[in-house]
């Protein structure tokens, strides 16, 4: 029985082009008690592979977190399969605002310790005791409420290109970093303020809302469905859009434009830009913001040294990469000192 990918990304991309089918990019999550995540993972792979589902899915004892792509004509069969699983029956599906048939090119379902890494080791913390879910209309009202503190539960490279008005945007690299920082900063307001949180699709702020209630915050709210669902409701209901810029997404698109505002800057020259790219040097692959002019001048690389390597013949590049691991640079996500403008902004001389 096949329980893993047999095609490369390039092979899958070619098949998608040849099929000519429209695909839907979807995300969903659900906190639940899963007794045997490995068996559940295999069950999903067998069924979803036949439906040509592609994506990145994490399964753990605490639930499931999924970002995926499915052919539009297989959507009903996919939804029927979800509904056949008791804790996923009628689960909210966030359908991407901007569609891309190549948002995912492989089906990867991985068993993890947790679906959202939080660094917590507290047996008394119950992730299901979450805060109050609010829709886009109520969220807009809370943003305007002077008794509200609006917190972005995403990482620095996400909020850099887009965030809500009045939001606190912690300068953190990971979700686990933000939990203690936010609690410490807002400790004096556990009883007198409304703590209002948001993230991309809801999964991080749902765990955070339960955590802060556990830590004694009395009035905790979260944007249901995150920025993705907020944008859909704003458009469908004619509400005022209070999100400025792009919403960072974790697929090949890297971002969905929510408003025309460009609030970020190219990390190499400082011009207004909110386009995330990966360095073209495969040995680096650093995620950063690059404008079209710098992309042309730098051959889509983050530095002169990477540009020189990228210009070498492919086989020579492979030899240079052999035995080396670049994840320490990848996870800096825009913090590398080789980024000229970003370095000046972060490390002024």
> Which of the residues are catalytic?
199
Q: How far is CA 41 from CA 49, 127, 291, in A?
A: 12, 21, 40
Q: How far is CA 328 from CA 25, 276, 334, in A?
A: 29, 18, 12
- What is the rounded CA–CA span in Å between residue 95 and residue 164? 20
- What is the rounded CA–CA span in Å between residue 246 and residue 262? 8
CB 269, CB 291: distance < 8 Å: yes
Look up residue 338 and give its two tokens: 């080789």
- What is the rounded CA–CA span in Å between residue 167 and residue 247? 14
Look up residue 49 and give its two tokens: 């592979």
- What is the rounded CA–CA span in Å between residue 253 and residue 268? 21
- Partners of residue 235 on adjacent β-strands: none
Find all residues with CB under 8 Å of 33, minimum gap 6, and list them: 61, 62
């Amino acid at each position: 029985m096949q329980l893993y990918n047999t095609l490369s990304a390039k092979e899958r991309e070619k098949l998608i082009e040849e099929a000519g089918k429209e695909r839907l990019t979807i995300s969903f999550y659900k906190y639940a008690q899963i007794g045997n995540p490995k068996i559940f993972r295999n069950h999903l792979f067998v069924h979803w592979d036949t439906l040509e589902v592609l994506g990145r899915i994490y399964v753990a004892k605490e639930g499931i977190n999924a970002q995926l792509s499915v052919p539009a004509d297989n959507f009903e069969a996919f939804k029927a399969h979800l509904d056949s699983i008791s804790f996923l029956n009628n689960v909210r599906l966030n359908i991407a605002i901007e569609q891309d048939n190549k948002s995912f090119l492989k089906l990867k379902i991985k068993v993890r310790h947790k679906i959202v890494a939080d660094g917590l080791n507290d047996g008394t913390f119950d992730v299901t005791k979450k805060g109050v879910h609010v829709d886009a209309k109520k969220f807009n009202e809370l943003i305007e409420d002077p008794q509200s503190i609006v917190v972005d539960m995403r990482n620095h490279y996400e909020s850099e290109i887009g965030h809500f008005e009045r939001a606190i945007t912690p300068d953190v690299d990971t979700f686990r970093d933000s939990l203690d920082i936010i609690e410490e900063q807002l400790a004096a307001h556990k009883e007198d303020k409304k703590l209002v949180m948001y993230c991309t699709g809801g999964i991080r702020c749902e765990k955070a809302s339960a955590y802060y209630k556990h830590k004694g915050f009395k009035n905790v709210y979260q944007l249901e469905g995150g920025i993705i669902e907020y944008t859909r409701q704003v458009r469908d209901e004619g509400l005022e859009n209070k999100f400025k810029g792009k919403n960072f997404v974790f697929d090949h698109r890297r971002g969905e434009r929510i408003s025309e505002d460009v609030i970020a800057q190219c990390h190499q020259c400082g011009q207004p830009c909110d386009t995330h790219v990966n360095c073209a040097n495969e040995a680096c692959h650093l995620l950063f913001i690059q404008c079209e002019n710098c992309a042309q001048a730098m051959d889509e690389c983050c530095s002169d040294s990477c540009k020189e390597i990228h210009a070498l013949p492919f086989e020579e590049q492979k030899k240079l990469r052999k035995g080396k691991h670049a994840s320490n640079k990848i996870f800096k996500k825009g913090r590398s000192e080789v980024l000229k403008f970003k370095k000046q902004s972060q490390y002024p001389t």
